[in-house]
Chains A and B, each alone.
Chain A
């Protein structure tokens, strides 16, 4: 029996076990929505396509499955672009399906036509324009495979309207042929054994673990590695949660706003084991000042990351979990007593801290949330100062308990990502920590959250300004502040109530202590307007041009 390509597409999604899609309809994608009427797949209607992309992203980070998005041609497609770039930078598996004008109209500047495959080449792992109706099942199969394997990433499929309406004989392909796509999973044996040797010979090892550990589901192996060789572990922003935050070997986050002790340990180590991390400029600061005396072992599934920013002494390309599994049997228990003592001394000497002066401090809010939840919630953040505080002051226990926009640093990511995360894990308590700047970028998605009846707990760190930019202007522009103050004081608690949420305003540490238990225990969506001290800076801070060991605090 023949069915339309649009119907075939929906069947393909069912075959890929897609349970829900985030999207926004329009003219060119009409046939696909029509086909969706008869499917078990749930459609989540967002308020802006960027929200759909971030929600699919949050869903994917939460569940480890492929997030799926639908949007129409033209503006629908371009509105996805920020969300696609965000997923690309953080290696999140997504499949995005956009409607396109009919094939015969392509290239004529037709209504709502845009070359979305051209636009998204730099920000997708791969993309397709479907020209031959019979190719669609193959393309969907390939897209899901590419998105979810190797180093994951977003794949976009552009579907012209007339192609979507064409009829084909549907079979879902078992086999696909991708001669140019062969990720390496198994680490090179000789390299792994050499890594074992370097590690056993080292006296001052440090493990620098990133988001690759979460993606490869390698947290148990990472922990075993650290405990076997007595190596302290520092996480990148993307890696937080991959190593228990309360573990004595844990150093917290490293980098520009990392802990002093993590940065000092990296600076002084003689062996740096980079696991699923990519030596991002926000981690490394000055290249020649990063682990200058260390042998660098770099384990990553993406060969292009190795020696891109920093030369690796020993590269191992492979799936982090499989490489660690191969490495562990080669290692013997070691203590590094002297090194451990130094690291512990740094931890005592340079703890994370902030001045307690009776005002409402954002760091205190995060600490209290941690105390009350015991680390058993999923924290989603936006981008800015609040994000750094959430990274520093909350102790993550589980690999998927922290969802944040790292590589692209997308303000506006938080709310839609929290929606996606909650839809992917309905029983999970989700806390969104955001800023008054960030949340206003995708505020419209409150409508989506309420429609889906999601009991999100939203904490707006409201300092009436763009705090991170203000901080940059303070340090780099001699306090010449421009375009960072919001002159209109928005009452977020009242705003929450307009949407039907419970609204709270917290102005003092006393109110925080009093209201927080009630807020966290609430079974309904809550918007908390936290009127925080506006003068607060994110510290420690490595200034431009300095080594990571030279942070100010």
Chain B
């Protein structure tokens, strides 16, 4: 069973090493990890896809929570959510195949981002199975290289995974 976690972390140096290190040393597997800025400049947002049963997920979540830099964790896959990946594929072309490839680009609603004398570089976003299908259909033409981001995900509708008001206040101890 895969789970997609949205993890809000303080934007501090080393936070990625802390999170990634936690997964490896506790023996949890990361399927994919994407990290970038969120709507709040002090907060980065990670989307982590993990494989495991409920018990493993419970441990992953609890161990992540123990990291001081981790502010909030949401398992968006327990709810209605959308997820996307972006991929760039550099594919070999010949005059005879160019048209066919461009047709595939159309069908998959991909975009050509670079044209070379013997190559096309194509960008496509979408959910995982679409990207897999696109990659498969281009394979016969010869994929020179491919780069794929980790998944990013978001809850559907009015629900969000932002920080609670209570967590924004300064604490007095």
Contacts and interface: CB of A to CB of B under 8 A. Distances in A.
A121 B59 contact: no
B88 interface: no
A129 B14 CA distance: 10
Interface string B148-173: 00000000000000010001111111
A39 interface: no
Nearest to A144: B173
B51 interface: no
Contacts of A304: 59, 62-63, 65-66
A179 B169 CA distance: 8
A176 to B, nearest CB: 6
Contacts of B138: none
Interface residues of B, number: 29
B69 A180 contact: yes
Nearest to A302: B66
B142 interface: no
A122 interface: yes
Nearest to B73: A180
Given A117-B14, A180-B10, A125 B68 contact: yes
Interface in A106-150: 117-118, 121-122, 125-126, 129, 131, 145-146
A: contact size bracket: 20 to 34
A270 to B, nearest CB: 24
A38 interface: no
A123 to B, nearest CB: 10
Given A121-B21, A145-B173, A304-B62, A180 B13 contact: no
A179 B62 contact: no
A177 interface: yes
A117 B168 CA distance: 27
B171 A303 contact: no
Residue of B18, B67, B173 with most partner-chain A CB within 10 A: B173
A178 interface: yes
B21 A175 contact: no
Nearest to B14: A117
B25 A122 contact: yes
A178 B65 contact: no
B77 to A, nearest CB: 21
A169 interface: no
A126 B68 contact: yes
A129 B12 CA distance: 10
A8 to B, nearest CB: 19
B169 to A, nearest CB: 8
A306 B67 CA distance: 17
B51 to A, nearest CB: 19
A121 B68 contact: no
Interface in A181-206: 181-182
A204 to B, nearest CB: 28
Given A117-B14, A121-B17, A121-B18, A180 B170 contact: no
Given A304-B65, A307-B55, 4 more contacts: A175-B170, A178-B171, A180-B67, A180-B68
Interface of B: 9-10, 13-14, 17-18, 21, 25, 55, 58-59, 62-63, 65-72, 163, 167-173
